[in-house]
Structure 1
């Protein structure tokens, strides 16, 4: 019975695997495709890649097709089948992969690739979620939203996976050697990269630490939520009371929160807080990796939190610039292109104290242009050196400012 539950739970989380099963059922083919030889399986996959369609009759996007293939491969190579094949790389599957590549190229040519990326939540929107009161401890709805978001952020949970299976016992409270409190998860349920039966799987030892000096301490919120849950129901996420008083001992009804509500938690938070985008649950996972990467955490450190198997999986997070960086890039390009450079936005990288830096510029430039109010060199001095070269002295002061001095 326990083995059956594990297999059903695995299938439930492997949504892309079900797409292949649906196609087999529609085409009245054998559902036992795991037993096919590599050659026969390759022939079947060629047809599947070419014919697979969404419920609306549209072709799947590039990312969906790649994920479907990975899901099938993961199913074949995991217990109880444990086949030693790779439908993505083995030469026996070259023909089926050529079909997939051809479909992807066709989608790009037609502009029909509807790949949906999961952007990280911008710093401005992160701040707004809290400042708006949408994430707070003042009422049942804002409290459960805050707890959900911080659990998803710190434990880098994947979208909607396993949320209904969580119970109060899923979280354990500890103290470290300094006496600081933190929560851990008592177990990591199966997801698409962690089935519990593969020795290559990384072990996540993530901690949600208390911030004693902050009113928004995540440990304080989680402890409050645990104390306000309805003890008659074992589900961790419960439906909030529609009418309550802060003095009530219980803030939640005797019923688990619905799958749809949990699956759209970040979307509902985005709308309630008036964020710049309507984010999805998976965007929180992207936010975890991106924030850590932009904060200087090593790739191995990020892997220990996200649970990814290799560094390539997180390169998009590590290399992608933030929203503020993209904004800065655009402003820089436009200012240079139009010749408008704002002095107040200029900073000197690692300026020496009371030192001057000498630049060499072209000689066909007027003094009014060089020293005008909107000029990069406003407040600097310049002189013509030997052979007609123009030297400009930009004087700096400690802190990166610029001093008008000749």
Structure 2
């Protein structure tokens, strides 16, 4: 069956409009998704979490006599180790680099702040000044992607250290306004925002052939691509939040039907497949494809696909379909 993709269409896939620097106070997942200056890895944490088993030490602990489970320090140690083992290494390294830079900046100004015990207001004050002084080695402003990435790293650090949300906490209002001001300063100084490349027409033809809907994976990839291509929004965090109720048809005044995240034949076929999954929660839209279809005809599992898989999926599709470049 032919794909619904029209190879003559060639709009930009995603359009970051940093000229207004809108949404900078959005949630952490959005911030992480746009921090492209810090190169993201393709760690599939969703698959890891779904497939992981208890370590022998943890199994032994929980199979012991109930009275032996009172050692909370041991439980905390095991839990902390599990968290460390499953944290993305590149994310940790970025976080350390940013906090080291903040610490070095404080030292240069003859300041020493105990991040664990300092008041929220004190931390907010120095973070605001830190944002204001961020410059490249040549004295030019960093791009909005970099500035937002730096704030994302600080967010993760303070959330883990003391549960302090430097994005939502009212004490950081001025600091977050400074993020916006620094981003605007970059644009006013002649900086340009890098937009995603438009998909070339020849590659659209290749994709139309690649999306043959012959397997659970290819059907899901086509639906994923169509959602991004026609309804592309900044970031990827919104994909994980899609549900079957996210799609709607709308009749226009001229009688034509406009589609609001709805209306492709691949999507309808996909819906018929996920609604057939036993135990499906009737909410999650992207479910994990089965590696092979059994005699029962079920294409997907009830396990949702996480953002760490959805985020880089277009790059994987580009490689599998032998496109001229790896689109992101």
Q: Whose helix proportion is higher, 1 or 2?
A: 2
- TM-score normalized by the length of structure 2: 0.49
- TM-score normalized by the length of structure 1: 0.41
Higher normalized contact order (CA 8 Å, seq sep 6+, divided by chain length): 2
